[in-house]
Amino acid sequence: MAEQTTEEDILLAKRIISAAERHDVPALRVLLKEGSANVQDPTATVATSPLHAAILACGKAEDGKDAGDKEVQTVELLLQNGAIWNDLNSEDETPGCIALRLGQKKIYDIMVEAGVRAEILFAKMEALGLGDSAADDEEEQDEVEEEDRPAAKKQKVSEEEIKEIQEVVEQQVLDDVSLDNRAYLKSQLRYKPGILLDESDNAVMMDWETQIMQRHAETINPKKGLKVMNVGHGMGIVDTAIQTHEPAEHHIIEAHPQVHQRLREQGWYDKPNVTIHEGRWQDILPKLVEQGVVLDGIYYDTFAEDYAALKVFFAEYVIQLLAKDGVFGWYNGLGADRQICYDIYTKVAEIDLYEAGFDTTWEDIDVPSGLHDKKNWEGTRRPYWTIDVYRLPINTFVK
Ligand SMILES: C[S@@+](CC[C@H](N)C(=O)[O-])C[C@H]1O[C@@H](n2cnc3c(N)ncnc32)[C@H](O)[C@@H]1O
């Protein structure tokens, strides 16, 4: 049962938020011994965390209000005490979004670092079986054990509640197939001029990305006669660009039946040196590894898959399939609807890639300015790109 909020709790929350706002580090240090760095004042009209309040109170850098030591220490103290980097206020802004909007570069960089640390820690906990999903499994296990002792009073989530949660998740996937790779692969696609849509109206691919795809193709396939592989055909933009350099071998892995149909209609199965592998990369790549395939260039751009999938792709497969001097490229689109998320995932990826044995070079490409205009996303579920610069990764093995 949720704990009751008392007058005292509200007063403490107000005092913590106020100390954060005033950048009063000594007072905040004392108050955080009693209360959380993530308190909310339930009586406030605008929901805000202490971190949001502290950053908002810095003011605009362009007005000569560059954050100084006090401001920096306040933000750092809140983060050290567990303030959440991606908490949203009622304006749908994270603390980092506010720092960016105010031009507070120093604070923004601190928030990016905090996000990177949190994401890496979260991924490590998941890998060790200590994350949310592992906790759920353990709860289920506890549940069964408690059921063996009928007299014991059940305090954990009941089977019925677990079923209810599963039903909600299934409903969400039915509503938005991009939340689940297998659901997406079973869904109906629509090819329209300049855009490929899934059954839930998500834009799977759009032709404004042509310049980005062409550059990716050049980086993984810079000259004639190489052996290259692209994972995810979509609208065929990157594969068409790869073809201009006449590869000796051009492997395409694609899992959606309607995309296979399109590949067939457009004659890709008959092109010299092209091999289409029908299926999910998760099923195809182990076979290619077994066959001892070695490639000069590999590109990855799938859909309805998360960062964890990309990490498996490079840490388990690219390291086995890529030639010593080969180049690996991947579509860097995660978090591209919020600058701070994009900056954090870009750094997390760079760290993970390095751990897997890859150096990363980044090339910045300006995206068309019209992407900020909602009109250009009409008919799609949501704009998946709202930031100004695409950071194109080029990965080679660490020398
Ligand atoms: C964003 S599109 C690729 C766009 C492509 N780069 C282009 O230039 O048009 C993603 C593609 O990956 C495919 N795909 C999604 N999940 C996959 C998986 N697990 N294995 C292989 N292909 C997958 C989708 O069906 C879709 O064709």
For residue 154, is pLDDT > 50?
A: no
What integer is the mean pLDDT of 209-219?
A: 98
Compute the distance from residue 48 Cα to the ligand 1 centre, in Å. 39
d(CA 154, CA 132): 20
* CA neighbor of 16 nearest in space, from 33, 1, 32: 32
Distances from the Cα of 327 to the Cα of 230, 323, 338, 367, angstroms = 12, 8, 28, 23
For residue 136, is pLDDT > 50?
A: no
Q: Are 326 and 396 in contact (CB under 8 A)?
A: yes
For residue 288, is pLDDT > 60?
A: yes
Compute the distance from residue 348 Cα to the ligand 1 centre, in Å. 23
Task: Copy the structure tokens of residue 225.
Answer: 């006669």
Nearest CA to ligand 1 atom 10: 302
Nearest CA to ligand 1 atom 13: 232
pLDDT at position 151: 40
pLDDT at position 279: 98
What integer is the mean pLDDT of 116-132?
A: 87
Q: Are 352 and 311 in contact (CB under 8 A)?
A: yes
pLDDT at position 250: 98
Atom of ligand 1 nearest to the CA of 236: 9
For residue 157, is pLDDT > 70?
A: no
Confidence class of residue 141 from pLDDT cuts 50, 70 and 90?
very low
For residue 335, is pLDDT > 80?
A: yes
For residue 155, is pLDDT > 60?
A: no
pLDDT at position 169: 74
Q: Are 219 and 329 in contact (CB under 8 A)?
A: yes
pLDDT at position 160: 78
For residue 318, is pLDDT > 60?
A: yes
- Domain 7-125 is in which class? mainly alpha
* Same-fold call for 7-125 versus 207-397: no
Compute the distance from residue 170 Cα to the ligand 1 centre, in Å. 23
CA 355, 356, 358, 360 dihedral sign is negative
Compute the distance from residue 207 Cα to the ligand 1 centre, in Å. 14
Nearest CA to ligand 1 atom 27: 234
Task: Copy the structure tokens of residue 125.
Answer: 């906990």
pLDDT in tens, 223-277: 999 999 999 999 999 999 999 999 999 999 999 999 999 999 999 999 999 999 9
Atom of ligand 1 nearest to the CA of 253: 21
d(CA 350, CA 352): 6
Q: How confident is the prediction for the chain on average, in pLDDT?
A: 91
Compute the distance from residue 110 Cα to the ligand 1 centre, in Å. 35
Pocket test for ligand 1, best of 301, 310, 385 (most atoms within 8 A of CB): 301
Can you name the CATH fold of 207-397? Rossmann fold (3.40.50)
For residue 152, is pLDDT > 90?
A: no
Nearest CA to ligand 1 atom 9: 235
Atom of ligand 1 nearest to the CA of 235: 9
Atom of ligand 1 nearest to the CA of 213: 8
Task: Copy the structure tokens of residue 156.
Answer: 């954990």
Confidence class of residue 291 from pLDDT cuts 50, 70 and 90?
very high
For residue 129, is pLDDT > 90?
A: no
Q: Are 12 and 34 in contact (CB under 8 A)?
A: yes
pLDDT in tens, 13-27: 999 999 999 999 999
For residue 72, is pLDDT > 70?
A: yes
Task: Copy the structure tokens of residue 310.
Answer: 């990309």
Atom of ligand 1 nearest to the CA of 280: 20
d(CA 390, CA 210): 12
For residue 80, is pLDDT > 80?
A: yes
pLDDT at position 133: 52
What integer is the mean pLDDT of 48-71?
A: 93
What integer is the mean pLDDT of 359-375?
A: 93
Q: Where are the domains of the chain?
A: 7-125, 207-397
Pocket of ligand 1 (CB under 6 A): 181, 204-205, 213, 231-238, 253-256, 259, 280-281, 301-305
d(CA 125, CA 140): 19
pLDDT at position 137: 45
Report the amino acid identity of residue 385.
Answer: W
Atom of ligand 1 nearest to the CA of 331: 6
Compute the distance from residue 144 Cα to the ligand 1 centre, in Å. 40
> What residues pair up with 196 in beta bridges, in sequence order?
191, 205
pLDDT at position 3: 61
d(CA 378, CA 397): 41
Atom of ligand 1 nearest to the CA of 237: 8
Compute the distance from residue 386 Cα to the ligand 1 centre, in Å. 21
Compute the distance from residue 20 Cα to the ligand 1 centre, in Å. 46
3-state secondary structure the chain: CCCCCCHHHHHHHHHHHHHHHHCCHHHHHHHHHHCCCCCCCCCCCCCCCHHHHHHHCCCCHHHCCCCCHHHHHHHHHHHHCCCCCCCCCCCCCCHHHHHHHCCCHHHHHHHHHHHHHHHHHHHHHHHCCCCHHHHHHHHHHHHHHHHHCCCCCCCCCCHHHHHHHHHHHHHHHHHCHHHCHHHHHHCCCEEECCEEECCCCCEEEEHHHHHHHHHHHHHHCCCCCCEEEEECCCCCHHHHHHHCCCCCEEEEEECCHHHHHHHHHCCHHHCCCEEEEECCHHHHHHHHHHCCCCEEEEEECCCCCCHHHHHHHHHHHHHHHEEEEEEEEECCCCCCCCHHHHHHHHHHHHHHHHHHCEEEEEEEEECCHHHHCHHHHCCCCCCCCCCCEEEEEEEEECC
Pocket test for ligand 1, best of 303, 312, 390 (most atoms within 8 A of CB): 303
